[in-house]
Chains A and B, each alone.
Chain A
Amino acid sequence: MASKEATVYIVDCGSTMSERSHGRKQTNLDFALEYVWDRITATVATGRKTAMVGVVGLRTDGTRNDLEGEEDYAHITVFQDISQMLMSQVRKLRNDLVLSSTEGGDAISAIIVAIQMIAKECKKLKYERKIVLVTDARGPMQTDDLGDIITKLKEDDIQLVVIGVDFDDAEYGFKEESKDATKAENEAGLKQLCNDCGGAFGTLVQAVDELGIPRVKSTKPVPSYKGFLTLGNPELYESAMAIDIERYPKVMAATTPSASKYVVRSDMGDATQSNMTMNGEDGQNGSYDGLAAVKNAMTYQVEDTNAPGGKRDVDRDELSKGYEYGRTAVHIAESDRNVTTYETTPGLDVIGFVDKNQYERYLDMSRSNLIIAQRNNEKASMALSSFIHALYELDSYGVARLVPKENKEPRTILLAPIIEPDFECLYDIELPFAEDMRSYKFPPLDRVVTVSGKEIEVHRNLPNDDLQDAISDYVDSMDLSTFGKDDEGASTEYMPMDETYAPMLHRIHQVIKHRAVFADAEPPPPYEILTRYSHTPDELVRKAQPALDRVLEAANIKRVPHKARGRRGRKEAPKPLSELDIGALLAQDPKRKHKRIDPKNAIAEFRQLIIQAEEDSAVRDACTQLKNIVFEWIRHSVGNSGYGRALEAIRVLREEMVDLETPAIYNEIMQELRTKLLAGDLGEGRGEMRYHVVTKKLGLIKASDLPGGATDDEVSKWRAAG
């Protein structure tokens, strides 16, 4: 668990902050707030009660602080005492942190106020204490006697961060020309203060810039297994090895915030207007924003032949737990709940060793963990080290059986040694079991085998030498292993994993934080770094272009024209392996001569009629026949028994009409179906059938998908019940 935090932000609201310096469009205060809000909302986003924030306005029109009696502390306003920050406070602070009309207010005094606030709240308890001052340093400042402050900051272990509007920063490469003399003096004073107390001092441009580099949340390592690594069985044999080890996650997907479902509260007349004005003291459960959570209420049914519709509701309390074995229910009494548990005892046991070079990386399952010796156990560390080095020297991996906790299912894992200058461990990855392998087969990629078993080396699916060469050159010219630059400008790996950030995770955080403060503004564009690795860098593309051009020429790729996929006449009738002319046989079949679809074989015969059809009238006739059959199925359906067939026929009809690009025929039929279902022409209680037609993507073919289709208006009308 992260430790408790107390951070006080001191925001300079002085009248000089209204300037727009260095060609920036926003005022210096807004610029400063961009940083401050980002930091504050990042804290809010953690949702932690122990991450507390205080906010002090510097050079405010009014004065409100514990030392306000003294003249030195004028124009300093404590807007928020140290506490957990919630949305209501964010809204309040939005109104508080505005430009003042004064230049008075001493930044050093504000720091003292902040120190006091922290002392009052945190007492001697364990906290991470921090004061962040954002200012343009153009107010009056008494910087002569700072000794006490420095001592106090150090004593209380408070980190001081000073971020200045257009402060000079040689390292970052920023220098303000013709700097105001007061500012220069104050800037120097603050810098000295930071140096003396071990704080941080920087310029705002850099701070705002760096907001675009996501912060990675660090997580305290929690062991996923603690116990022995054994080789052999110590309970049976004296020759067994057992080393005390601990296992920790190495990779764990960071979770992206997920949105919950809400509806506008029914008791709110107009939800939108009340958003900003309500003072969120009294509400609960998200009611400030006029939203109520949406829950999924479950009702339960069992089959009951006597009940209307064949189903009967049962109460949640009447249910018990069990399993489904096919369509048979297996009841397991409460007392027998453990009967299906395979009883195991925790352990990590070596099964054997494998050759590293023969190991196929695609077998890796799940995320990786790392294994180190029990901490502060030097003997175990030495023992494990010999294991790690032996594997490394032999180019081997271990295979082991892991049971992390009692009665957990055993897993087989791979143990891979890693040796770094100051660190050694085993990385482990879960391996698949027999049941996890799906044997799908695919033809070879480097040769074509014909039905007769002959191998062909020249074939349209195989690359010729030109293509092989071109691809080879292309791959070589797109090399990323040396494309990156390190801090010294030397070649290094481009986009190593620890410099890539989860785009969606940080994108969602970014827009939530933004929206929380600027409720009415458009969400900002994503940080550059989140999309940086979505394309090959231009420089590399330029370098690889000649090779790429050769690949394009040799590959001769042709896009399959969208429309040509299934137009009438162009579609070839499928043939069996022997290439027997089934079409001719069908034509001779006496039962099919009259082109009347047998309802029992409706789908096949419909498809056959469509593929044979040479005129639109034949298509229309086939569709009409199928339509009538579908209507009969629905009409005679007992409960929902006929719906499956009807839906399948409708799906086939839709597919064929899309293929033939004749949406009108389908849409007409669906209009008729809608009318009939609503009018009860196909029997009473056909609502479920309608529900399926609407939800299973069987609706009208839209004009946006296919010319001649239905308009959006027609589509929504068709979907509507009334």
Chain B
Amino acid sequence: MASLPYRDNTSRPSNYGRGDDDDEDEEEEEADESGYKSSKDAVLFAIDVSESMLTKPTGGDDKKSDTTLSPTLAALKCAYALMQQRIMSNPSDMMGILLFGTEKSKFQEGDQETGRGGLRYPHCYILTDLDVPAAADVKQLRSMVEEEEEAADLLVASKEEVSMANLLFCANQIFTTKAPNFSTRRLFLVTDNDFPHASNRDARNSAAVRAKDLYDLGVTIELFPISHPDRGYTFDRSKFYNDIVYSASPSDPDAPAPLTADIKPASSTAKDGISLLQALLSSVASRSAPRRSMFSHMPFEIGPGLKISVKGFILIKRQEPKRTSYIYVPPDSDKPQIVTGVGQLVADDTARTVEKAEVRRAYKFGGETVSFSDAELAKIKHFGDPVIRIIGFKPLSMLPIWAQLKQNYFIYPSEEDFVGSTRVFSALHQKLLRDQRMAIAWFIARRNANPTLVALIPGREQRSDEGEQIMPPGLWIKHLPFADDIRAPPDTEVVKAPDPLIDAMRTVVQQLQLPKAVYDPGKYPNPGLQWFYRILQALALEEDLPEKAEDKTLPKWKQIHKRAGPYVVEWGKVLEEQYRVWQKDNDRQPRINANGGAKRAGGAAPTASSGRSAKKVKADDGGDGGEAGITDAEMRAAFAKDAVGKFTVADLKAWMQGKGIKAGTKKAEIVDAVNGWHETKMEID
């Protein structure tokens, strides 16, 4: 058939120019995860607006405004936070907010004309329609949670009890019409009422039936129950909610059962200083992204004839800022529009449209191309079917720290293909943990994917002090570099530090241990990413731009100075002494300008107080040149004589790198940049 230039109507044009989404092309290996993530998620928040949900908790601390929020408002704030987060991290995912138990009713805009909305789903009020959020949605929600008057009008509890069956069907209709064919659809239900329709069994049964409809539609209900310890009320899910919540997500029948112990009812009062909002946020955070497997039905061959099945996940992945996209600003309006890009294959010579079937693959070689038929190429690239096959075992100590090529995958057993997978996996996992060993395996992630060698390292389950799982138990797939991927270090001579100097440094290191002597990623938000998010949000919502970024990765200078300062100064003195001794022993003349060396520790270095320019003096002035590249002094001299151009491009680039100077690729541009840098430096100095 003719290839039509249509795109998936539900897909957002976030991947411009990357060609056809439907291209099942396994050619470019590094496309990697993108293929698995084409699936999208839709989350609908359903928030209970009853009298008790609108009641502020007693004993809240007025200074901490979070603790005085009513449960409904806390839930709204939580939804607001999630919306802000998802708009950045999951740009093509949908979100909506449905209030229930309200005096007012609203389903769809159109319904208000016919007046049917109120009749169909009484006491259900769609605050934000299920869609990819727009700036306006965020603004609306913000005014709800930040300005009480806005909320007061809407947040009025209905006198009459809302029908749970109706609520669930309302959600059903929203998902059916707004998010058809989404891979995951979830209803986040926030309530403190564990027993709706307490006296009406039929009404409860109808709700159970509507819940089954949602299940069959592929919608998961995630319950966020709230208890009120100040009123002696504890949410009991067995009264009603266990009839409408199913154990696993229907689209993933093999997902491990939810850790029910982890989903404790949140407390409406600030227990142990944790407000309801914080509790909800952490609860939502743990479920904010649907768990998507990167591969499933993966045969895990532990030995010849010993095969089980596993699923693979990406638990740690670098979150990158968004890429820019094309925007259209109509001449007659200042409202920019999103642009959809449509790719079409054309021949380079005649610009005629090319059918996919005509396309041939060829490699550039010697100024021409070398081509293979698809069948040949498939055969060439075939190293066997997807598998994780253990070749043998080694102690973990044989895995050097540098053996790291790309992000790790996590695997967990699945009973889907082989009954007994879990117990075998568990035995292996325990053995590897106990003996600190790793498996070495041959790994083909997908059909015709590049085969790789990997280490399977055991990961221990980790729980927080509150008992919440922080890191699940399982095996991690670590890609090992091949000989081709390992780079040789540059030639260099090492001057080994003498013992007194090492001793001095050891004291320094001992002063500056991080809490619990571990790196906790949770304590370090990505400062560049956060800044990007804040700016983009400010632009989108027409807020004032923030002045200064918060950067938790900046070392705590003052603490370091206080705790380690004296020891560093001491170390500096030892270095000076030892270096002099070394020079003498090795018959090296003290350099004319010895301060330019390694470090400038405190009072030990004579130029320490002379400010910034001294610090910039780097390599040994008048040093042996050559390998060390151009020294600052040489460059300064060359600049003075207008002779920067005498250096080679490679040397200039090396010199510039340390200065953070940017320039194009042409020599003239580079020389200009270096000259420019010196000109500004002169002014400062």
Contact A365 B316 (CB under 8 A): yes
- Chain B residues with CB under 8 A of A303: 337-338
B198 at interface by CB-CB < 8 Å: no
Decide: A292 near B348, CB < 8 A? Known: A399-B514, A445-B429.
yes
Given contacts A221-B488, A231-B564, A236-B561, 13 further A-B contacts (CB under 8 A): A231-B560, A233-B560, A244-B597, A267-B350, A298-B16, A320-B326, A362-B408, A432-B318, A478-B390, A534-B451, A557-B308, A647-B180, A687-B4
Question: Which of A323, A555, A580 has the largest count of B CB atoms less than 10 A from its CB?
Answer: A323
Q: How far is the CB of A462 from chain B (nearest CB, A)?
A: 6
**A557 partner, pick from B306, B483, B526, beta carbons under 8 A:** B306
Query: Whole-angstrom distance between the alpha carbons of A505 and B421 in the complex?
Result: 34
Q: How far is the CB of A502 from chain B (nearest CB, A)?
A: 4
Q: How far is the CB of B403 from chain A (nearest CB, A)?
A: 6
Query: Whole-angstrom distance between the alpha carbons of A253 and B575 in the complex?
Result: 39
A140 at interface by CB-CB < 8 Å: no
Decide: A297 near B598, CB < 8 A? Known: A87-B366, A221-B487.
no
B551 at interface by CB-CB < 8 Å: yes
- Chain A residues with CB under 8 A of B536: 323, 325, 330, 340
Interface residues of A in 622-658 (CB under 8 A from B): 640, 643-645, 647-648, 651
Per DSSP, chain B at the interface is: mixed
Contact B91 A326 (CB under 8 A): yes
A261 at interface by CB-CB < 8 Å: yes
Contact B502 A558 (CB under 8 A): no
Query: Whole-angstrom distance between the alpha carbons of A138 and B442 in the complex?
Result: 48
**A582 partner, pick from B208, B217, B423, B451, beta carbons under 8 A:** B208
A578 at interface by CB-CB < 8 Å: yes
Which residue in chain A gives the minimum CB-CB distance to B258? A441
Contact A340 B535 (CB under 8 A): yes
Q: How far is the CB of A225 from chain B (nearest CB, A)?
A: 8
Query: Whole-angstrom distance between the alpha carbons of A90 and B366 in the complex?
Result: 9
Query: Whole-angstrom distance between the alpha carbons of A232 and B459 in the complex?
Result: 34
Contact B242 A576 (CB under 8 A): yes
Interface residues of B in 458-504 (CB under 8 A from A): 459, 461, 469-474, 476, 478, 480-498, 501-502, 504
B664 at interface by CB-CB < 8 Å: no
Q: List 12 A-B contacts (CB under 8 A).
A: A263-B358, A295-B345, A324-B325, A326-B138, A332-B324, A377-B598, A385-B494, A385-B497, A423-B489, A435-B529, A478-B393, A557-B424
Contact A331 B336 (CB under 8 A): yes
Question: Which of B314, B407, B425, B484 has the largest count of A CB atoms less than 10 A from its CB?
Answer: B484
The segment from B47-55, B59-67, B375-383 found at the interface with A is B375-383
Question: Which of B352, B435, B540 has the largest count of A CB atoms less than 10 A from its CB?
Answer: B540
Decide: A645 near B180, CB < 8 A? Known: A342-B528, A582-B209.
yes
Contact B472 A442 (CB under 8 A): yes
Query: Whole-angstrom distance between the alpha carbons of A354 and B519 in the complex?
Result: 7
**A296 partner, pick from B345, B535, B551, B600, beta carbons under 8 A:** B345
- Chain B residues with CB under 8 A of A299: 5, 341-342, 344
- Chain B residues with CB under 8 A of A534: 383-384, 389, 391, 442, 451
Query: Whole-angstrom distance between the alpha carbons of A331 and B336 in the complex?
Result: 6
**A461 partner, pick from B308, B404, B426, beta carbons under 8 A:** B426
A2 at interface by CB-CB < 8 Å: no
Contact B314 A438 (CB under 8 A): yes
Decide: A352 near B383, CB < 8 A? Known: A214-B484, A253-B406, A382-B501.
no
**A329 partner, pick from B4, B19, B321, B338, beta carbons under 8 A:** B338
Query: Whole-angstrom distance between the alpha carbons of A405 and B362 in the complex?
Result: 37
Decide: A263 near B354, CB < 8 A? Known: A324-B322, A422-B494, A478-B393.
yes
- Chain B residues with CB under 8 A of A462: 422-423, 426
B262 at interface by CB-CB < 8 Å: yes
Query: Whole-angstrom distance between the alpha carbons of A299 and B329 in the complex?
Result: 17
Q: How large is the interface on B (under 10, 10 to 19, 20 to 34, 35 or more residues)?
A: 35 or more
Contact A239 B600 (CB under 8 A): no
B307 at interface by CB-CB < 8 Å: yes
Which residue in chain A gives the minimum CB-CB distance to B250? A574
Flag B353-388 by CB within 8 Å of A: 1 or 0 each: 010001111111111111110001101110110000
Query: Whole-angstrom distance between the alpha carbons of A261 and B385 in the complex?
Result: 25
Contact B620 A376 (CB under 8 A): yes
A548 at interface by CB-CB < 8 Å: yes
B36 at interface by CB-CB < 8 Å: no
Decide: A515 near B372, CB < 8 A? Known: A330-B540, A445-B426.
yes
Decide: A431 near B328, CB < 8 A? Known: A475-B437, A480-B394.
no
- Chain B residues with CB under 8 A of A236: 557, 561
Contact A355 B246 (CB under 8 A): no
Question: Which of A374, A474, A541, A577 has the largest count of B CB atoms less than 10 A from its CB?
Answer: A577
A603 at interface by CB-CB < 8 Å: yes
- Chain A residues with CB under 8 A of B491: 375
- Chain A residues with CB under 8 A of B422: 445, 461-462
Contact B9 A644 (CB under 8 A): yes
- Chain A residues with CB under 8 A of B173: 600
**A237 partner, pick from B208, B474, B490, B557, beta carbons under 8 A:** B557
Flag B609-622 by CB within 8 Å of A: 1 or 0 each: 10010010011100
Query: Whole-angstrom distance between the alpha carbons of A344 and B554 in the complex?
Result: 11
Query: Whole-angstrom distance between the alpha carbons of A298 and B15 in the complex?
Result: 12
Contact A432 B4 (CB under 8 A): no
- Shortest 10 CB-CB distances between A and B: which pairs? A409-B528, A239-B565, A322-B327, A644-B180, A406-B660, A380-B598, A379-B597, A386-B497, A463-B427, A325-B540
Decide: A604 near B212, CB < 8 A? Known: A231-B560, A342-B527, A479-B394.
yes
Query: Whole-angstrom distance between the alpha carbons of A232 and B321 in the complex?
Result: 29
Contact A328 B135 (CB under 8 A): yes
Query: Whole-angstrom distance between the alpha carbons of A405 and B659 in the complex?
Result: 9
Contact B658 A226 (CB under 8 A): yes
Contact A389 B514 (CB under 8 A): no
Contact B363 A359 (CB under 8 A): no
Decide: A353 near B512, CB < 8 A? Known: A294-B354, A436-B521.
yes
Which residue in chain A gives the minimum CB-CB distance to B327? A322
Contact A365 B525 (CB under 8 A): no
Contact B358 A311 (CB under 8 A): no
Contact A238 B602 (CB under 8 A): yes
Contact A498 B483 (CB under 8 A): yes
- Chain A residues with CB under 8 A of B235: none
Contact A326 B392 (CB under 8 A): no
- Chain B residues with CB under 8 A of A406: 660, 662
- Chain A residues with CB under 8 A of B152: none
Q: How far is the CB of B189 from chain A (nearest CB, A)?
A: 14
Query: Whole-angstrom distance between the alpha carbons of A481 and B395 in the complex?
Result: 7
Interface residues of B in 547-580 (CB under 8 A from A): 549, 551, 553-555, 557, 560-561, 564-566, 568-569, 571-572, 575, 578-579
B273 at interface by CB-CB < 8 Å: no
Interface residues of A in 367-412 (CB under 8 A from B): 367-368, 370, 372-391, 393-394, 396, 398-399, 401, 405-406, 409-410, 412
A494 at interface by CB-CB < 8 Å: yes
- Chain B residues with CB under 8 A of A604: 172, 212-217
- Chain B residues with CB under 8 A of A286: 362, 364, 368-369
- Chain A residues with CB under 8 A of B555: 232-233, 349-352, 401
Query: Whole-angstrom distance between the alpha carbons of A370 and B427 in the complex?
Result: 37
Contact B492 A352 (CB under 8 A): no
Decide: A239 near B561, CB < 8 A? Known: A302-B337, A604-B213.
yes
A493 at interface by CB-CB < 8 Å: yes
Q: How far is the CB of A424 from chain B (nearest CB, A)?
A: 5
The segment from A62-70, A181-189, A464-472, A704-712 found at the interface with B is A464-472
Q: How far is the CB of B89 from chain A (nearest CB, A)?
A: 7
- Chain A residues with CB under 8 A of B318: 365-366, 430, 432, 436
A560 at interface by CB-CB < 8 Å: yes
- Chain B residues with CB under 8 A of A355: 513, 517-518
A241 at interface by CB-CB < 8 Å: yes
Q: How far is the CB of B140 from chain A (nearest CB, A)?
A: 12
B238 at interface by CB-CB < 8 Å: yes
Which residue in chain B gives the minimum CB-CB distance to A339? B535
